[in-house]
Amino acid sequence: MTAYAVVDARTSNGVRCVRICGEVDLTNATNVREAISRLASPDAPVIIVDLTDTTYLDSSAIAMLFHLAERLTQRRQKLHIVVPPNSPLRAALELTALPHTIPLQPTLE
């Protein structure tokens, strides 16, 4: 990935979970989206992006999440995002109305 973000994935109970660790901003948002697209199984009905270990998202990163959700919808897949309730990222995502488009959940469980 980049010096700012590491993207990895795992499957649990038939659900593909892609975890982003680090920062996502204008310099790497496209690379992060491409990594998520590569790691997201085309057969999985739901893709989860785990932001638990993400330390920073700028507006380009939030736009990337909207575009990712749109692309997955076209493939008849759903995107869910994991953001802990106490994460500063959650407030930023809620300000953008992202939860109206992409469900936020507090944990992977």
Q: What is the CATH classification number for the domain harbouring 83?
A: 3.30.750.24
Q: What is the mean pLDDT of the chain?
A: 90
Q: Which residue has the tokens 């795992």?
A: 10
| Per-residue pLDDT at 55 | 94
Check whether 2 has a pLDDT greater than 70.
Answer: no
Instruction: Give 109's pLDDT tier (boundaries 50, 70, 90).
Output: confident
Closest alpha carbon to 67 in 36, 23, 108:
36
Tell me the pLDDT band of 43, cut-offs 50, 70 and 90. confident
Residue-level pLDDT at 87: 94
How many structural domains are present in the chain? 1
Length of the chain (residues): 109
Beta-bridge partners for 24? 57
Q: For residue 90, how many C-alpha atoms fall within 13 Å in the half-sphere facing its CB?
A: 14
Predicted TM-score (pTM) of the model is 0.90
pLDDT band at 108 (very low <50, low <70, confident <90, very high): confident
Helix (H, G, I), strand (E, B) or coil at 23: strand
Domain that holds residue 67: 5-105
Q: Which residues contact residue 55 at a Cβ distance below 8 angstroms, ignoring those fewer than 6 apart?
A: 22, 23
With a pLDDT cut of 90, the percent of the chain lying above it is 72
Residue 88 above 70 pLDDT?
yes
Which range is least confidently modeled, 30-34, 39-43, 97-101? 39-43
